[in-house]
Amino acid sequence: MSQNTEDEADSPAKQSQPKRTLIQSTEPSQGENATQPSRNKPKKRCWRDNRWRHPQVIVNGVLALAAIAGLLFYYCQLRQQIESTHAAAYAIKLARDSSHLDQRAWVAGSHISGKPELDKPFVITVTIKNTGKTFAKHLVGLVATKGKQLSDPDPDFEGLLVGGKGVISVGLVPPNGELIQQASINGGKKMTQADLDALSNPVLVILLFGKLTYFDIFGCEHWTTYCWRVRADGFFDTIYRL
């Protein structure tokens, strides 16, 4: 009991003593990195946080916009120059083609003549003329004849011209120059009354056709075709002509 009394007597004295609070030092220890900033020390603002306030950034932005505007202006000028160049080239080509068209040679069949007579060969003469202003070179002319019924389709003109007999070949044809090309009906035989009656038959068609190929002085190749229907009265109907 006495021991407990002493403890109780000492307890108020102990309670009256102030409590000591341990304050932890914020200074870095020897083992820590001395260069590491303290947690309580405010951080410095990074330059990136103030980049829009920096004058150099504003200057760089203005220069970039000016460079983009200059590139756009240069692109527009370059495009206009290309379009102008194409237009000028097209105009030159058009003028050259017009000049060639006006100065080139034009060769075609201009006149046809011939009349069937009894007991005589029926020979048809085709006059070929260069109506252009310059020479025609390396002229080759083919001619052939073919009979068919009125209801039959047109024959193969190209295939028949390959075996044509009235072939002419001339190296040079001057302006307004004329050539003669002849073709015979019935293989050059004398005409009989039956042949004359056949020519007068309205359902029987006798065709004379040909093709002319030549070069102009500019080195361009041209061709012309013609086709006439042969009649017994000596007249010819133009069927096909280019």
pLDDT per position in the chain (242 positions), as tens?
A: 444 444 554 555 455 555 554 445 555 555 555 455 555 555 555 555 555 556 676 777 788 888 888 888 888 888 888 888 887 777 777 776 666 678 889 999 888 998 899 999 999 999 999 999 999 999 998 888 888 888 888 888 888 887 666 677 788 899 999 988 888 888 788 989 988 888 888 888 888 898 999 999 988 999 999 888 888 888 888 775 54
Segments making up each domain of the chain, as ranges: 54-102, 107-241
- Amino acid 10: pLDDT: 52
- Amino acid 156: pLDDT: 83
Only one residue has tokens 């009649």, namely: 231
Tell how far CA 93 is from the center of its chain. Answer: 16
The secondary structure element, H or E, covering residue 99 is helix 55-103
Contact yes or no for 162/101 (Cβ under 8 A): no
Token duo for residue 103: 């100065």
Residue type at 232 in one-letter notation: A
- Amino acid 87: pLDDT: 79
Task: Return d(Cα 142, Cα 176) in angstroms, integer.
Answer: 20
Q: Give whole-number Cα distances, 233 to 15, 200, 208, 239, in Å.
A: 158, 8, 15, 17
Contacts 24+ apart (CB under 8 A), 13-19: none
Task: Return d(Cα 132, Cα 173) in angstroms, integer.
Answer: 10
Q: Which fold has domain 107-241?
A: Immunoglobulin-like (2.60.40)
State whether residue 233 is helix, strand or coil.
Answer: coil
